[in-house]
Structure 1
């Protein structure tokens, strides 16, 4: 692994770890601060997640800031990263996500690993994941293909905050985050048996998003073409 790829992998690991820590940690805090108020708990969880995304993308974007294997997959499909590099980055994202969940559990005085018992297995939730991931890909790569990368942090943070509410699945939209969230039996957790279909639907959503991005924005930016 060359130094540039190592730096990118480190940025993806760190960024995804902080993202998952924000998702899981704010979920735990929300249930403790606002018990028996699910709407308020979701509001707190979504706002913290969106804010964390903005900060993390702004900070790490000069190195690498996908924090999401399906975003990295689409980058590879569009020729923005090599496939071998994409595989390394995806592994770093998954490892970072799991570490973030463990740290969040420990910060709130829970067992480092507690497998979630929160079942999320239904057709409407799977559709929600397709929609959530499709929208995320459109937001990210719409900005990239039109040369507005400086807007990505704010666009992604705003979109994920909104998608927590308008999708039935509360917008996981990220295989690394989905895998990590099964290691925390808390507000944001997902039962292991529910994970595979969530990831499959995220890949479907990403594929549809990639097709639409190519159709809507057929012209490469100077960065993509180089």
Structure 2
């Protein structure tokens, strides 16, 4: 049974809520891992597992409502590849989504801090992450994410997004030097937590630039691999909001 299309305010609220929950999972699992072990490997396993599982669940839950972008690079890449006069795909929706995602990310980080007894916003992150090799890793992580999202849509398999996107992010946390933030909104939010998952505010602009570069690379690679025509081998492929 197909849901009736949600209004833009409801979709934006879904993006705010979903991004807040995602960042709360990322930051909260990092804080929990910090308190349980000093072994960086153990902490990374715990954080990667919680982040991937949480992301998959959020995509499955919110995908039918807003598309569960939860990430400005996903919103921008989807807007660019579908820039048509169809309702719901305009720049107004993209701007609303991005504003909701950034606000949600900050709210999620502050919520995680509060849940673990830390004064929300009292201490910004101090982890510097502006080294060139980390920025390269972040560009690669974001390019891969965009390729997964675009590829699933172009082959007509958007219903695989909860597993595929979550699985990719869980893997990329390990195989990229940056830890695969791959999300400008989450990057801003994580600046509000001085913890294992944080990023110093001064490193945020460089990380965001690397993510936008990765988005362009991922879109370009998707175009080369799949062409510009959309497939429609699943019913969901015809629904512009069932992207991720």
Pick the TM interval, shorter chain: over 0.9
The CA deviation at 1:51 is 0.2
**Could you tell me which residue of structure 2 aligns to residue 32 of structure 1?**
35
SS at match of 1:111: coil
SS at match of 1:211: helix
Gaps of 5+ in 1: none
The CA deviation at 1:3 is 6.2
**Could you tell me which residue of structure 2 aligns to residue 148 of structure 1?**
157
- Residue 47 (1) aligns with residue 55 (2): no
1:47-106 Cα distance to aligned partner (Å, 9 max, x none): 000000110000000012000001000011101621121011000000000000000000
Partner residue of 2:109 out of 101, 107, 112: 101
Partner residue of 2:60 out of 49, 58, 61: 58
Partner residue of 1:82 out of 81, 90, 99: 90
CA RMSD of aligned residues (A): 1.5
SS at match of 2:65: coil
SS at match of 1:61: helix
SS at match of 2:13: helix
1:193-208, aligned counterparts within 5 Å?
Answer: 193-208=202-217
> What TM-score do you get using the length of structure 1 for normalisation?
0.96
> What TM-score do you get using the length of structure 2 for normalisation?
0.89
TM-aligned CA distance change 1:3 to 1:153, over 3 Å: closer
- The number of aligned residues is 224
**Which 4+ stretches in 1 moved above 2 angstroms?**
221-226
1:80-137 Cα distance to aligned partner (Å, 9 max, x none): 6211210110000000000000000000000111200111110000000110000000
Gaps of 5+ in 2: 84-88
1:204-223, aligned counterparts within 5 Å?
Answer: 204-218=213-227, 219-222=229-232, 223=237
Counterpart CA distance in 2 for 1:84 and 1:211 is 24
